[in-house]
Chain A
Amino acid sequence: MSVLKEFTKGLWKELPPFRLVLGLCPTLAVTNSASNGLGMGAAVIFVLVLSNMIISMVRHIIPAKVRIACFIVIAASLVVAVELLMQAYAYPLYERLGIFVPLIVVNCIILGRAEAFAAKNGVAASVADGLGMGLGFTMSLTFLGSIREVLGNGTWFGMAVMPESFEPLRIMVQAPGAFICLGLILAGMNMLNFRQARRRGEQAEALAQQQGCGSCGGCTACGAGARDAQAQ
């Protein structure tokens, strides 16, 4: 039962890029088409599930002091495996995603989940968590990619979906479109959240806001660091 719960939380309650605001770089960079988003998501699922599994298996062996370094090396080995697999079986996708395939290793989601979940939980729960988070990430990327591709190119997964008279908004598939689109989606998520909370009669915090710097796992120190700086 709890395994199922770990799996489903990644799909909505803790949806990685939109709710936890994790892993923004690939979210912005590769979503100029729906198929790129899907491909990137698949690569992240592979790395995340396996890294969560391996880390939860070896979590008692790794000394606490060097755990981050160990997590990074485990994730990096898996990313190399993904790179080689993509070069062998999905070369066009590998070319399109460019440097963002090797950069999966510094994606906050991988380290964030390793630190926040896999290092503290059993193998089954960690795999479920990785799978759920990975699927949530893929869904979000595909969603954002779909919006940008339809508005910016008039196509969806490469098929023309808009009427002939539609003039593509080129800006949507370029960098500014990515930022603005993601900003609006986050605002939408916040609004949804406020509305749900009001219905339950609770006071809700803006989700994306309370994270700030601590939003990405590797950056947790950043929030703390900034506070230290103020204290000095």
Chain B
Amino acid sequence: MEIFQLFIAAVFVNNIVLAQYLGNCPYLGCSKERGVALGMGSAVIFVIVVSTFFTWLMQRCVLDPLGLGYLQTIVFIVVIAALVQFVEMFLKKMLPPLYAALGIFLPLITTNCAVMGVAILVQREEYDLLTSVLYGLASSIGFTLALLLMAGIRERLDTCRLPKAMAGTPIALIMAGLMSLAFMGFKGMAN
């Protein structure tokens, strides 16, 4: 039950983009069409789950016993970068159809702050391994949800007549603000 609550909280209440301000670059950059948004979202789900698993192990099995906690930032980014590279090579070799779908999005995920953000957040919250991975899964589902909703709205926006200065990023940000306002309505469902 507790896990279920954590899941709902991470997808809706503390949505990683709309409430925690993580991963805004791809949120605004890759939300022009639904197809691209879905590809980006699935790649993020995949990478966040795998990287949360490995950074958790890295922190608990290497950094903590050796007293190197202050190296967290540098170790995590290297682990994530290496992992993304490895996942890309693995998919290319073993699962070409999946690579064709996600491949182009993988290299840019290294600098997506949602990945690094989730890895650090689960350490600060001191979740155990299972909870961490589930939290990573839920957060990335939340990310994909926000991205897909945004892409849907922006496809409609293309057909609207906007003031010239508002078109593009400014209106997208204001839409994000309204969406975030809507997501605040989920508060109280879980915390």
Residues of A within 8 A of B (CB): 21, 24-25, 28-29, 69, 72-73, 76-77, 79-80, 83-84, 99, 102-103, 105-108, 111, 171, 174-180, 182-184, 186-188, 190-191, 194, 206, 208-209, 211-219, 221-223, 225-226, 228-229, 232
- B21 contacts chain A at the CB level, 8 A cutoff: yes
- B42 contacts chain A at the CB level, 8 A cutoff: no
Q: CA of A215 to CA of B26 in the docked complex: distance in angstroms?
A: 10
Main secondary structure of the interface of A (DSSP, over half): helix
The listed residue with most B CB atoms (<10 A of its CB), out of A84, A108, A180, A211, is: A180
Q: CA of A42 to CA of B24 in the docked complex: distance in angstroms?
A: 21
Q: Are B29 and A216 in contact (CB under 8 A)?
A: yes
Q: Are B104 and A229 in contact (CB under 8 A)?
A: yes
Q: CA of A214 to CA of B181 in the docked complex: distance in angstroms?
A: 27
Residues of B within 8 A of A (CB): 18-26, 28-30, 32-33, 35-36, 39-40, 70-74, 76-78, 81, 100, 104-105, 107-108, 110-113, 116-117, 120-121, 124, 163-174, 176-178, 180-181, 184
Partner of B168, one of A72, A106, A209, A232: A209
Q: Are B170 and A187 in contact (CB under 8 A)?
A: yes
The listed residue with most B CB atoms (<10 A of its CB), out of A79, A175, A182, A213, is: A175
- How many Å from the CB of B24 to the closest CB on chain A? 4
Query: Provided the pairs A25-B113, A28-B21, A102-B73 are in contact, do residues A219 and B164 lie with their beta carbons within 8 angstroms?
Result: no
Partner of A102, one of B104, B107, B120: B120
Nearest 6 pairs of A and B residues by beta carbon: A218-B111, A209-B168, A183-B173, A179-B177, A213-B29, A180-B177
Partner of A215, one of B19, B29, B70, B170: B29
Inter-chain contacts of B177 with A (CB < 8 A): 175-180, 183
A-B contact pairs, 18 of them (CB 8 A): A21-B169, A25-B25, A72-B110, A84-B70, A106-B77, A171-B181, A177-B177, A179-B173, A179-B180, A183-B177, A186-B169, A187-B165, A209-B168, A211-B169, A215-B169, A217-B111, A225-B105, A229-B36
Main secondary structure of the interface of B (DSSP, over half): helix
Query: Provided the pairs A69-B81, A174-B184 are in contact, do residues A103 and B108 lie with their beta carbons within 8 angstroms?
Result: no
Who on chain B is nearest to A209 by CB?
Answer: B168
Q: Are A212 and B29 in contact (CB under 8 A)?
A: yes
Q: Are B180 and A176 in contact (CB under 8 A)?
A: yes
Q: Are A209 and B169 in contact (CB under 8 A)?
A: yes
Q: Are A190 and B165 in contact (CB under 8 A)?
A: yes
Query: Provided the pairs A178-B21, A190-B165 are in contact, do residues A183 and B73 lie with their beta carbons within 8 angstroms?
Result: no
- How many Å from the CB of B148 to the closest CB on chain A? 15
- How many Å from the CB of B21 to the closest CB on chain A? 4
Q: Are B78 and A73 in contact (CB under 8 A)?
A: yes
